[in-house]
């Protein structure tokens, strides 16, 4: 796959964010990695979706160094690079400021797994990171955002292949996938289950998480060797 | 009515779900039964609405066995089949993950009948089933989902012709109709009255259900021998 | 103005309801009265907006008796007729099941006047009627709906020209105007201020009503002899 | 830039308000000042967006006196004029009745800075003014609205360049920018962060404001000499 095709695919994935009402203005970004070719492709920084073109996407090496004669990459690139370096089974990353996922981030809360809609995609609560320290924000902020995400998955002993999203405290969600298509799908679903969770809490105090065996059933109905959903 | 026509009608009914913002991606499904011809027609499993075609709909016999050379039917087919077998006056079934109906499912609550909008279509609260047990989830999950729905209507002594929807605990709604058109209409209305009910509770603690005589008036204004609404 | 033109205007006003997301399916209705010509024109009963045509509108005399060879009028016609007979300055009436106005109806609450958006159109809280009694519902329900609305305005000593809307308890809003255009505008605004009021209450317990002098300022900036808003 | 071009730009900026669902009917207004040419250009009073044309925009001198043969300017013009006279770094002003910003206004509350979405644009909470007194409302209401806004920024020692919006108590937001484009962008963002803030509060009682160092990081990543966001 040559560069023009990768840029086209990354462009189309990015355009899904405003189309699905997950970002405003220039917010958010989608990237993909091709580990064999040794490249990452990501949205440029601060370009409005309405004016963005496929050729504006930025290609970098695996350390996030852009090749020559391109626009500046998303300011969140360093987060994406660190995540690709430490999450082998992630091939695409999305960052948004979608409304209900951000509300959970601002509240500093995990998105609880309350029902089968959540369980079909996320094998447990979507974790919220700790807040970054002043030192972590002052220097290498975007890199440290990647580090606190990896720390969260490691400390909780969860796998981004099984729970392909995280909420960065006071900030917003990062979403993962084994492909651009899957990462964008998970992004749409994350926002939907965040809204469902918030509204469930309005209907009942002291909500319970979904029964563990029902979580298992729905997750494994769609994922892994025993899956039987889809064609 | 030949198979191509049935598939076209089921396709059009399914396409109403994303159009009315009741599902995302591949979620949800609509089916119809023709008891005389001995067939059921349902949406295929895991096909995105944007790519679905009329000919992708799947026709099965009354036990849910697909005829040859078709896509795989919805993974919820066994639920539909069981419901058709035990609910004589239901000719069409819809399953969605619509936002406010799911919020009630996740909260494990009936959708209360708070006003005339509800009473025009649902002759009382829309019931929420008990949760399935671990054994019911482990084996024949989709069949047992059908069983717990029928159990709910039987134990509460209510009729799916009078209250054509149910909320499966921790999961989401199934909606009924005597035709594809009616089932889809009831699906749109269910989500609307669920949102109205949630917002009414935000405005007033300890909400009262609608007066019984007003429920009767509105329901029977539109249904049964004394109906006088419509042409 | 001949009948075809009146029907066209009433049709266009009715079509504003789904366009502005104030009704679903066949819900809601708009009517107009021409007291000089002795006619009322109203939406037919139970016709979906997507299939409705201008010629489907129904013309009646001032007692609500339809002229020959027309569709059946809205089942709420008797409410409209009673209101026209008892509210001299009302020339057009709208009934919807818009989401937030219905939530207030189901909660049995007035829509409080919390800010200038409300005051620009409604000179005080939008009143909620008492519930109808069993006897009032059993016989002449639609007529009695009109009566409880008039009773509400009389008992509270308010004028539908100044507060051109009312919430019928457990049911939904009726909205008034001196023209089709104004009645529809008031309908759009009612739903918006209802949502604003609900969300204000989520942000602050024990909300205060708008200062009386600010209510006066905004209302009279747009209405009456001293108005200076608009061209 | 001649008058026709300024009017075209102001027209286009105003049309962004209904397009982004920030106003209904005739609500809201956008203006721009050209201090060198000595003119202000603003939306006319009470003209529906659907019928508004570029040539309907109204040009005034720096005291808000319209040149001849034009429509009547927005009734809020006096507020705009006073703000331009007392805020040197503001070149464009927007007023809306957007839903969540109005809810904060009606609750008489600042919009708290809960996360990075807010911090990217607003360097701290968006202030809510005190209520106007009866005397301030009775005489020169629109002028006094401008005065209470300037008073708010002065008393809190904040700068409209750093926090380019304010909530007028019981009324709604005014938003600022160094250009039409920026003022409209800030308007879109204000409504989004207001909704995010409200929903965060639904998820957690006693919300904390964003860490000061994170507010600094995000604000200065996008603004000032050390900014590195965008091209």
Nearest-CB residue to C170 (from B116, B189, B192): B116
Nearest-CB residue to B229 (from C75, C137, C201): C75
**A36 in any annotated domain:** yes
Find chain A residues with C-beta within 8 A of B72's C-beta. Answer: 230-231
Burial class (CB in 10 A: 0-12, 13-18, 19+), D83: buried
Instruction: Provide the b/e sequence for D182-211 (b: ≥16 CB within 10 Å).
Output: bbbbbbbbbbbbbbbbbbbbbbeeeeeebb
User: Strand ranges (DSSP E) for A162-226?
Assistant: 165-168, 172-177
The whole-angstrom distance between B125's CA and the closest CA on chain A is 15
pLDDT at A101 over 90: yes
pLDDT band at D229 (very low <50, low <70, confident <90, very high): confident
Taking the C-alpha atoms of residue B174 and residue B79, their distance in angstroms, rounded to an integer, is: 10
pLDDT in tens, D108-144: 999 999 999 999 999 999 999 999 999 999 999 999 9
The whole-angstrom distance between D126's CA and the closest CA on chain A is 17
| Residue D89 · residue D160 · CB < 8 Å | yes
Residue B79 Cα to chain centre, angstroms: 11
pLDDT in tens, A11-22: 999 999 999 999
Nearest-CB residue to A207 (from B107, B131, B171): B107
Cβ pairs bridging C and D (under 8 Å): 86
Taking the C-alpha atoms of residue B15 and residue D223, their distance in angstroms, rounded to an integer, is: 46
Nearest-CB residue to D46 (from C188, C196, C231): C231
**D227 in any annotated domain:** no
Degrees to nearest 5, angle at CA D127 with C203 and D226: 120
Beta partners for B176? B93
How is residue D165 written in tokens?
């919006």
Is A142 an 8 Å CB contact of chain B? no
Find chain C residues with C-beta within 8 A of D97's C-beta. Answer: 117, 192
Pairing of strands C92-95, C39-42: unpaired
* Cβ within 8 Å, pair A230-B71: no
The whole-angstrom distance between B115's CA and the closest CA on chain A is 18
**Chain B residues 100-139 within an 8 A CB cutoff of chain A:** 100, 102-109, 131-132, 134, 137-138
* Cβ within 8 Å, pair A213-B137: yes
Q: What is the mean pLDDT of residues B3-28?
A: 96
Portion of chain C with pLDDT greater than 70, in percent: 100
Find chain C residues with C-beta within 8 A of D172's C-beta. Answer: 115-117
Beta partners for D61? D39
* Cβ within 8 Å, pair A115-B170: yes
What lies within 8 Å, CB to CB, of C158 at 6+ separation is C124, C127
Pick the residue of A16, A115, A219 with the most B CBs within 10 A to test the interface with B by mutation: A115
**B231 in any annotated domain:** no
pLDDT band at B203 (very low <50, low <70, confident <90, very high): very high
Taking the C-alpha atoms of residue D25 and residue D19, their distance in angstroms, rounded to an integer, is: 12
Nearest-CB residue to C107 (from B185, B203, B213): B203
Find chain A residues with C-beta within 8 A of B46's C-beta. Answer: 229-231
* Cβ within 8 Å, pair D185-A109: no
Taking the C-alpha atoms of residue A123 and residue A218, their distance in angstroms, rounded to an integer, is: 9
Find chain D residues with C-beta within 8 A of A103's C-beta. Answer: 196, 199-200, 202-203
* Cβ within 8 Å, pair D137-C213: yes
Q: pLDDT tens digits, chain C, 231 residues: what are they?
A: 588 999 999 999 999 999 999 999 999 999 999 999 999 999 999 999 999 999 999 999 999 999 999 999 999 999 999 999 999 999 999 999 999 999 999 999 999 999 999 999 999 999 999 999 999 999 999 999 999 999 999 999 999 999 999 999 999 999 999 999 999 999 999 999 999 999 999 999 999 999 999 999 999 999 988 888 888
pLDDT value of residue A1:
57
Is A48 an 8 Å CB contact of chain D? no
Taking the C-alpha atoms of residue B107 and residue B99, their distance in angstroms, rounded to an integer, is: 12
| Residue A41 · residue A57 · CB < 8 Å | yes
Is C195 an 8 Å CB contact of chain D? yes
pLDDT value of residue B226:
83
- Rounded (10°) CA dihedral D52, D56, D57, D62: -150
- Greatest Cα pair distance, chain C, in angstroms, is 55
Query: In terms of Cα–Cα distance, which of B202, B229, B13 is closest to B100?
Result: B202
DSSP, residue by residue, D106-153:
HHT--B---SHHHHTT-SSPBPBPPPPPHHHHHSSHHHHHHHHHHHHH
The whole-angstrom distance between C107's CA and the closest CA on chain B is 6
B229 is catalytic: yes
How is residue C193 written in tokens?
């201020």
Pairing of strands C92-95, A172-177: unpaired
Domain with residue C163: its CATH number is: 3.40.225.10
Instruction: Identify the sign of the CA torsion B85, B91, B94, B100.
Output: negative
Output Rg (C-alpha) for chain D, integer angstroms. Answer: 17
* Cβ within 8 Å, pair B131-A214: yes
pLDDT in tens, A145-183: 999 999 999 999 999 999 999 999 999 999 999 999 999
Taking the C-alpha atoms of residue D124 and residue D162, their distance in angstroms, rounded to an integer, is: 8
**D42 in any annotated domain:** yes
DSSP, residue by residue, B117-153:
HHHTT-SSPBPBPPPPPHHHHHSSHHHHHHHHHHHHH
Domain total in chain A: 1
Q: What is the DSSP letter of B212?
A: H
pLDDT band at B227 (very low <50, low <70, confident <90, very high): confident
* Cβ within 8 Å, pair C196-D141: no
| pTM of the entire predicted model | 0.97
pLDDT value of residue D168:
98
pLDDT band at B1 (very low <50, low <70, confident <90, very high): low
Is A143 an 8 Å CB contact of chain D? no
pLDDT at D1 over 80: no
Portion of chain D with pLDDT greater than 90, in percent: 95
**A82 in any annotated domain:** yes
pLDDT in tens, A10-62: 999 999 999 999 999 999 999 999 999 999 999 999 999 999 999 999 999 99
Whole domain around residue A198: which residue ranges?
3-221
**C215 in any annotated domain:** yes
Output Rg (C-alpha) for chain B, integer angstroms. Answer: 17
pLDDT value of residue C1:
57
pLDDT value of residue A52:
97
pLDDT value of residue D227:
86
Query: In terms of Cα–Cα distance, which of B67, B61, B64 is closest to B37?
Result: B61
C141 is catalytic: no
- Greatest Cα pair distance, chain A, in angstroms, is 55
Is C213 an 8 Å CB contact of chain D? yes
Output Rg (C-alpha) for chain A, integer angstroms. Answer: 17
- Mean pLDDT for chain B overall: 96
Find chain D residues with C-beta within 8 A of C207's C-beta. Answer: 106-107
User: Which residue in the block uniquely carries the two structure tokens 């299939």?
Assistant: C51
pLDDT value of residue D171:
98
CB neighbours of residue A65 within 10 Å: 11
How is residue D114 written in tokens?
């809960």
The whole-angstrom distance between A75's CA and the closest CA on chain D is 6
The whole-angstrom distance between D223's CA and the closest CA on chain A is 12
What lies within 8 Å, CB to CB, of D34 at 6+ separation is D1, D6, D40, D41
**C90 in any annotated domain:** yes
Taking the C-alpha atoms of residue B79 and residue B94, their distance in angstroms, rounded to an integer, is: 11
* Cβ within 8 Å, pair B138-A217: yes
Global ipTM: 0.96
pLDDT value of residue A32:
98
Q: What is the mean pLDDT of residues B94-119?
A: 98
Query: In terms of Cα–Cα distance, which of B131, B134, B121 is closest to B160?
Result: B121
**A38 in any annotated domain:** yes
């Amino acid at each position: 796959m040559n560069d023009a095709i990768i840029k086209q695919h990354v462009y189309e994935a990015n355009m899904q964010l405003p189309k699905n009402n997950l970002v405003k203005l220039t917010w958010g970004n989608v990237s993909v990695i091709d580990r064999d070719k040794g490249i990452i492709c990501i949205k440029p920084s601060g370009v409005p979706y309405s004016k963005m073109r496929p050729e504006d996407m930025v290609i970098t090496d695996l350390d996030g160094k852009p090749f020559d004669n391109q626009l500046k990459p998303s300011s969140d690139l360093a987060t994406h690079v660190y995540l690709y370096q430490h999450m082998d089974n992630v091939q695409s990353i999305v960052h948004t400021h979608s409304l209900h996922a951000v509300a959970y981030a601002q509240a500093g809360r995990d998105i609880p797994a309350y029902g089968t809609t959540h369980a079909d995609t996320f094998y447990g609560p979507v974790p919220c990171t700790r807040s970054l320290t002043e030192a972590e924000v002052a220097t290498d902020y975007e890199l440290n955002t990647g580090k606190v995400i990896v720390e969260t998955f490691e400390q909780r002993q969860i796998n981004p292949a099984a729970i392909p999203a995280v909420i960065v405290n006071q900030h917003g969600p990062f979403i993962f996938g084994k492909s651009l298509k899957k990462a964008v799908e998970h992004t749409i679903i994350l926002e939907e289950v965040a809204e469902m969770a918030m509204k469930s809490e309005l209907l009942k105090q002291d909500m319970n998480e979904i029964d563990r065996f029902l979580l298992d059933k729905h997750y494994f109905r769609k994922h892994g060797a025993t899956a039987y959903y889809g064609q």
